[in-house]
Structure 1
Amino acid sequence: MRNDRAALTIKCPACSRATPHRLLYVKNSCNILQCRDCGLGRTEVSSFDPLAYYDEGYFSGRQTDGYADYRGAEPVLRREFAGTVEFIQRRKPRGCLLEIGCAYGFFLDEARRTGFEVSGIEPAEAAAAHASDLGLNVVCGLLNEATLNSFGTLDVIVLLDVIEHLPDPQEALALLADHLRPDGIIVLTTGDFGSLAARSTGAHWRLMTPPQHLWFFNRDSIASLAHSVGLRVESSDHPWKFVPLSLIAFQAGRMLGRKIAANPAGNRLAIPVNLFDAMRVVLSKAPPCPETSHP
């Protein structure tokens, strides 16, 4: 249920200033607020430990808001990731690529096969260990300055359904921008809070899963966030995605209050899905402002 009580003024990372926020609803005992200026949604949560939350269980169906069986769906995921690599190569054919939240390394492995020099950061120990077993350069931990320094400057930085999980998306994007080469790009995917699906289903939106999801972006708020750290939106779209049937069943069960376990057949099969409520955004460094000439 929506709540239109008096607005609360708090700092919005996309607007880079204190703005009025309204309480939309309460979900999973968390208040969901929205900035009245840019539309960025946020989860109010007193404490959240990502290192404790994103464990092996998150990828194997033991967490309500995680994946049904990430490793079991590897062939389907690799097919989807290969398409993302192809999308990136049309903009940046080669170079140094870093993925934030690289899970078991399937995307990085697909990118490596096309000639990218790849590396990743992943908080879940078991997932990071599996990626390392594939021969990938993956650091287990959180995104921070110390971790990024080990990778140098980068041509491509990828965040696939990650930015909504980060405690401070503005600080994270600023760090990434500092490590991006002048002609580099950041490719991210996240839910579209301004989509018809999100607006019509409200607290029941499939991506409204606090405290796992801390932020809910629309096109305006992601553009404002990018601008605040010297980046600009090169393109944005709502791509089709091949989704394992096991994950579809798992998420449908969550929305219906039931737990549906993954099965091998559901892991192997996938269907193309597009509810037009998930966006893919390409960011690049904004050109410097031209110097003002004086007579």
Structure 2
Amino acid sequence: MKRIIRALVIALFAGWMSSSVVAATPASSQQISAHDAEILPMVYAAMRSRVFIQKVAKDYLYAGNDIATTEAQREMKIALKKFDAQQKKLTGAFTDPKTKNLLMFIRMNVDEIKSILKKPYSLDNAQEVIDLAEAISEGEKKIAMELRKKLSKNYPSGKGQRYLINQIAKYYMAYQAGIKDQNTIRQMRKAVKRFDELMKEMKAYPGNTVKMNQILNQMDKLWTIVKQFYLDIEEGGLPLIVYQTTSKLDKNQVKYAKELLRNLKKN
């Protein structure tokens, strides 16, 4: 049962399942089979990889534009290391040619990003890192979708707050750095809307403890402030505030998920 509950929370944490799924039944009677519990961690690895590659692109843009340089460079290295760890899990889990080929494509793109990171920052290099990160994210999403077909039931899906908040900050900084196209604005505003929806789901979850609600209240206050900065992307001028607030939101999401897991284990 503990393995099944952990798989459920892992899926929620990865943003692959909405909080409404967890709220549907008590922890002691979650209808997730042992088969699904084996697959969900692989979904988690794919979706978590999407988070880390977005962080790499975001931190590259910030470091390259001398905003929170030391922290951005450190976080970028950590994200790359964590991305590689998730890929090792996925590489050993598949034998079919199509998925192995996709994983090879992802590895080639990551190696290309690593090569660019060794070069002096430029707007062209920044655009290439953004494009490569999006291609990798698309590949990871495809892997998660294929894994989903193997599950015994259909779970609701979402991008996940950690993925979204890092993607939003990446688009914000890209625009400030000089990548001023309408697609950047459109994609960022789409991500903001989805983040809003996920915040409402988390706040509505009836299993929230006092501590979980405290974390959510902190997130809500931060989000209410920074959301307008994101939407005013064309006005800009607040990259450091956006970076710091994004980091706090990301860390609070991790705290919330850990508290949720701890609470479910108790029940």
- Measured against the shorter chain, the TM-score band is under 0.3
Structure with a larger share of its residues in helix:
2
TM-score by length of structure 1 reads 0.24
TM-score by length of structure 2 reads 0.26
Higher relative contact order (CA 8 A, sep 6+): 2
